[in-house]
Structure 1
């Protein structure tokens, strides 16, 4: 047994000596640089390009068989200038000889490329300078792919040198430069100082990869640097791939970036199984501008019909600090602590045509928004279809408004519909496909406290409808707002009802002045058209019914006006005004008929135990002018201070004319009308006095006549009685004389 082994060993030794001798002979006798013209000519024949090998070609045969190539360049395509298409300072590739000969294993040292320069261009006609190099491979006459050769078949089935036997000591690319100049699109991109270093490359062990480079672009104008590191693992037979500890860091500089600079860091672990068509991104972390997001994503059917699901959490951050980093103005809010805490959580799933977010949480300071939303991405429509159900617990919107100043005048906010009509494009409105609901537990806005808010929004094919409901100030609100954008000119419709609301607290919170108090009930039916607020005001039509009960009109001091009227009538100095008092009423109602932006009212009615108020006139919303007359009639005298004065004017109607603009209304007591009414009242009084006197005289005369009549009747009765007595006496005397 020992002898055969010895013989085999001697034979192998001899073979190795022969191979070594042959390699030495090749190194001594063969000069690869002598073949540079033939190599260049072969490239010229195959590509039409000139290959210029300026550096020396060095060969090594044992224990590594390989080649070192010096400076080499490949000329550009015709019409793309004199700069080389590609240039290389140096390259080195070496394979270990004995594993290749004995075991058919490819074991290389590091593959090295130094100073690569790649010049990619596209001319004005859209032709690239690499198109002539990307020629299709030759095919059989039938146009089918030619059958594999026996050697190819053997390699694919494990014969020959298989991929499983590949082992590379690493890949080193240093100082590479790649430029891309697209003159058709007027864009230019460069990657420079590109360095790529890997660990040993083997198909059965993970590979460490590190890359860094600088880059720039013309559209958008940016420049920056990139660093990437990861460990790549793969199983080609099972088609499984993984990136462990992937870290990508980049810094971007450009005038279009917020603050002129952006920095970002992304880390994750990535898995892919092509046989199962699954992929996963785990431990995902994204950091930029001081904001951190963490999550994970799982995907399936990635090669057929991809579907994904995952989670994402946005860690709490300060929005004010973020805006500062983005070089954006920080809002001046009434609460300086507003916008200091933002965070979000969400779970999602989807496909290329749909995104579902069943869990959505957004935290803004002390406010929490939660809910869900579904988004469909139809191929034939420009905008997605959105369905949502959202809930907000409580929000103080006034915290986020600018702080009030002493010169500010608190007024009601303008109509949201009017403001939107001036900015929203009609085509966008027609493309909206939205349906959802948003509920709020508590809302404070413009000083108003509103609770139990429910909104339902539908927007489809240009018809947008909002249905809000709310509780406020011991009452309720229910409305219907509609915007019809299906025609060239948008149409608006408003139907709403306000019932049982305490007007005093509402106006106090809204305008810091309770101009009117009492229980308020309001209903409106309004329509308008137009693209701008002015057009909509001119086209406003409809009806508004208003009623108040058990309230007061602040600033309208009826008793004061009566006292002024009395002083004027008596030509006395006007009494001092008391602006703190108003006019109480038990009922106040009015119907506003609106036509072409002008409010017409002729049934204003207010009642109290002592007065009756009526009014009629117009309010022009287009010109913002007032023309209104209020009439006040005293029906009973009041007790206490001023009661005697009011008693003197009992039954008198006091007219008050309101004119001027909304900004500067004028309230004018109509003294002429009062004088006319007073004269009429005096005439009526004189007529009543004369009538009363005539009636008294008539009654007195009647009484006199009755007395005289009664006296005559009494006198006649006495006379008749006397005559009868006399006749009776005469008869008695005659009878007496007869019997005597």
Structure 2
């Protein structure tokens, strides 16, 4: 470079430096002058007017203050932006403190660009009205100032200038920081509001054409969450005529779960033209309880995915739907339930939904698969809605196939159900208790609407249940509502109750699901009165008032207790708390069965009444109830007409009135049973137990058993009472006071063994603790009878004249027990006193026992 030119440049740099320094000094002095002499509150009306012009909403600013900075920075307090007309509250936005930093260069082009906007303690309301219009949709106001109206008086309104594509917005915020605020979302259609507490939110873009990034930390209820997002440029977002896709990518994370959304939106401000991919995952679904505000099943390793696109309607186009869950313990819902996997999928909302579930219940593997109609069929009320379901467990299968004609109205259900169970006992883990060992059970039925549609009830039609032991067919209907009701009409060709009871597991219920052992109750204080045999447990009469029922049944053949009953039919009605079973009829081997029962009602105490005529009832179940051997041949005739009132069996017994008759002839009874019943009587009479059956084993033939009892308000007159067991004849009479369970009976056991020995016995005490003892007043007669027996043994004719050979007491007693009706008589005559059995004591020994 020539020396002269180099000298010229060396003098130019100091001049430029001094010029820039002077300009900066002027700017500083100007800024200081503005801070000293300019009051920003004077700008408040203009700022409020400009915001209202741009947004159509009124803005209220509190105290304004200029902050010293190289760029214009304005601080405002108590900022309020009006809500849309008809909103739930006057303000859409309130801010305790706001700081606005403006960019200088955009101001030269007439645009307002906010370099940084900081909001402290903002309260933002995002809501829709009842018609779905959002409050975040802004527009220029149509109102003008008074001066504008005066200047344009009589002039036609000017058309708004069209925005040029890519010109950018008049107001742009490049950086946003929000601290300690809250955002409320309110649905105007439902009125429900959700509040999100925002600890910190940061959003910004490098420029008007650069992508926007945002991050936020907050809490929804008790659930902490973190949001990160990246979108397209703000210029594209606010450009009303742009149509190119605006990219969106957002991730919401909470402890143990995340939800991601990626895609594009062509009209983001209108919420239209979206095409989004949604993916979510949760280690445990219960992590979302705080977010959704409701309990959720503890499904683990949950994954969801779907494609959501704008279909031009209020309902989006959803495709690629997939929901999966892995191994999960669901004991909180059903004890012992374990999920192995669950998959739910649908190609589109317009196509069927497929579901597959595998797992186990208390160690038994089970699988359920289902195919349901397209979800859009529910939304569009199009039918019929198809339903297919299949389940299998422990070799059993259940298949249901059909549809729902009107899904939204919940009506038109038609579902065929088929079940095949090779072994009912194998399903015990599913039931939580031991089940009977019934095999090859099948069931077919159709599920239909109840009266008034599925929402009001469900009906079972064409029921066909079969098993080797029984069959059942008919129909039933369950009605829902404040007072449920059940109607059923069931028939059966054959029921073998003995076989069904034989299939019941020993100790049924022992295999039930384990339950926590309750703490032991403290020992009860000693009772002030003797314990009762009849329990004081309150009967569940209140349960009779929970629903109404009407049940008709008919069984062609019923085998129970070894007795075959034919043509059994009955009608039971439960209405307004009163149960009426009337009539139940059938044909027993000895004649016609008739039964009627009423119980409950809303009276206090509730009345109970029973009428029963059964000429051939088995006593096996009754013996089993008392833990006695059931080896018994023959049946009993029962004739009962009883009534009482009370909430407990004890109270009913204390008010019992009516009659009861029991008659049996030529029945075989296990010697142990007879020994348990008459053993105390024999011991009180000091007669040997061997009189019942030599050797003490085997069966005893009862020529007859006859009992007649008449009750009046809990006082029962017993008599006659006759038990003719061949070698032993027992006759008796007396009273039983059911009010306190007191006994006052006199029995006359007579031993037919060489001599006719009659030893009267008194029975006192209570039903729970009877006391047996000789009847002192009858001792002389007993000795006379014994002497007469000795004479009769040597001279039978004289014995017959004395009348101590026992006679035949069965006839009169059976007639009394039957209420005077004719019936079967013993096939054999009463045994005559014969030689003593080898094991029986000698007469002299018996005489000494009686006189002790």
Task: Report the TM-score when normalising by structure 1.
Answer: 0.55
- Cα 1:329/1:548, change in 2 over 3 Å: closer
- What's 1:367 paired with? 470
Q: CA deviation at 1:491?
A: 1.9
2:569 paired with 1:454: yes
Identify which of 531, 543, 554 aligns with 1:439. 554
Choose the corresponding residue for 1:401, options 504, 528, 540.
504
In the alignment, is residue 37 of structure 1 matched against residue 153 of structure 2? no
Return the match for 1:630 from 731, 739, 748: 748
What SS does the corresponding residue of 2:652 show, helix, strand or coil?
A: helix
For residues 606-660 of structure 1, what are the alpha-carbon distances to aligned partners after superposition, in whole Å with 9 as ceiling and x for unaligned? 89999998542345666485733237699xxxxxxx8xx56xx7xxx83553747
- Equivalent-residue separation in structure 1 for 2:547 and 2:245 (angstroms): 61
- Cα distance in 1 for residues equivalent to 2:222 and 2:725: 98
Q: Equivalents in 2 of 1:664, 1:344: separation in Å?
A: 54
Which one of 364, 383, 388 corresponds to residue 284 of structure 1?
388
Provide the secondary structure at the position in 2 that maps to 1:243: coil
Task: Indicate conservation of the 8 Å contact 1:247/1:267, yes or no.
Answer: yes
Q: Which residue of 2 aligns with 1:466?
A: 581
The answer to whether residue 573 in structure 2 is matched with residue 430 in structure 1 is: no
Name the CA shift for 1:314/1:322 in 2 (closer, same or farther; >3 Å).
Answer: same
Deviation readout 1:701-737 (Å, 9 max, x if unpaired): xxxxxxxxxxxxxxxxxxxxxxxxxxxxxxxxxxxxx
Could you tell me how far apart the structure 2 residues matched to 1:92 and 1:447 are? 86
C-alpha distance in 1 between matches for 2:786 and 2:577: 62
Shift of 1:494: 0.7
> 1:115-514 maps to which residues of 2 (within 5 A)?
115=252, 171-175=277-281, 179-181=288-290, 194-198=303-307, 207-212=319-324, 227-233=343-349, 242-247=350-355, 249=357, 265-270=369-374, 277-287=381-391, 292-303=397-408, 306-316=411-421, 318-324=423-429, 328-331=432-435, 337-338=437-438, 341=441, 343-350=443-450, 351=453, 352-363=455-466, 366-378=469-481, 381=482, 383-392=483-492, 393-395=494-496, 396-403=499-506, 422=537, 424-445=539-560, 449-467=564-582, 468-499=584-615, 512=629
State yes or no: 1:616 paired with 2:733: yes
1:602 to 716, 719, 722: 719
CA distance in 2, matches of 1:46, 1:499: 79
For 1:229 and 1:618, locate their aligned partners in 2 and report how far apart those are by CA, in whole Å. Answer: 76
Does the 8 Å contact 2:423/2:438 carry over to 1? Answer: no
Q: Is the 8 A contact 1:278 1:298 kept in 2?
A: no
Work out the CA distance in 2 between the residues paired with 1:325 and 1:305. 30
Partner of 2:192: none
Distance in 2 (alpha carbons) for counterparts of 1:404 and 1:81:
50
Shift of residue 486, structure 1, vs aligned partner: 1.4
SS in 2 for 1:436: strand
Given the superposition, is the C-alpha separation of residues 627 and 674 from structure 1 closer, same or farther in structure 2, using an over 3 Å criterion?
same
Worse-superposed segment, 315-324 or 344-353: 315-324
Aligned residue-pair number: 543
Structure 1 position 276, deviation (Å): 8.1
Specify every segment of 5 or more residues in structure 2 that has no aligned partner in the other structure, as ranges: 1-164, 186-195, 258-265, 509-532, 793-797, 799-852
What whole-Å deviation, never above 9, does each CA across 1:405-426 have from its counterpart, x for those lacking one? Answer: 9xxxxxxxxxxxx999946543
Within 1, Cα distance between the matches of 2:723 and 2:693? 26
Deviation digits for residues 431-488 of structure 1 (CA, Å, limit 9, x no counterpart): 3311111333444556655444323211111210123333444444211111033123
- Aligned equivalents of 2:580, 2:592: Cα separation in 1: 20
Task: Provide the rounded CA distance (Å) in 2 between the counterparts of 1:231 and 1:346.
Answer: 30
Residues 1:529 and 2:645 are matched in the alignment: yes
Map 1:570-585 → 2, pairs under 5 A: 577=694, 585=703
- 1:261-306: CA deviations, max 9, x gaps? 9975443233755798433332522547666543345334555674
CA displacement 1:12-33 (0-9 Å, x = unmatched): xxxxxxxxxxxxxx99x99999
Contact 1:616 1:630 in 2 (8 A): no
- Cα deviation, residue 110, structure 1: 9.4
In 2, Cα distance between the equivalents of 1:500 and 1:187? Answer: 58
Distance in structure 2 (CA, Å) of the matches to 1:186 and 1:46: 19
Which has more helix, going by share of residues?
A: 1
Alignment of 1:705-716 (within 5 A): none
Q: Is the 8 A contact 1:283 1:296 kept in 2?
A: yes
Query: Is the 8 Å Cα contact of residues 592 and 614 (structure 2) preserved in structure 1?
Result: yes
C-alpha deviation, 1:87, in angstroms: 1.4
Q: Compared with structure 1, are the counterparts of its residues 82 and 514 closer, same or farther at alpha carbon in structure 2 (3 Å cutoff)?
A: closer
Cα 1:107–1:435 change in 2 (3 A) is farther
Aligned to 2:151: none
Equivalent position of 1:639 in the other structure: none
How does the TM-score come out when normalised to structure 2?
0.49
C-alpha separation in 2, matches of 1:218 and 1:401: 28
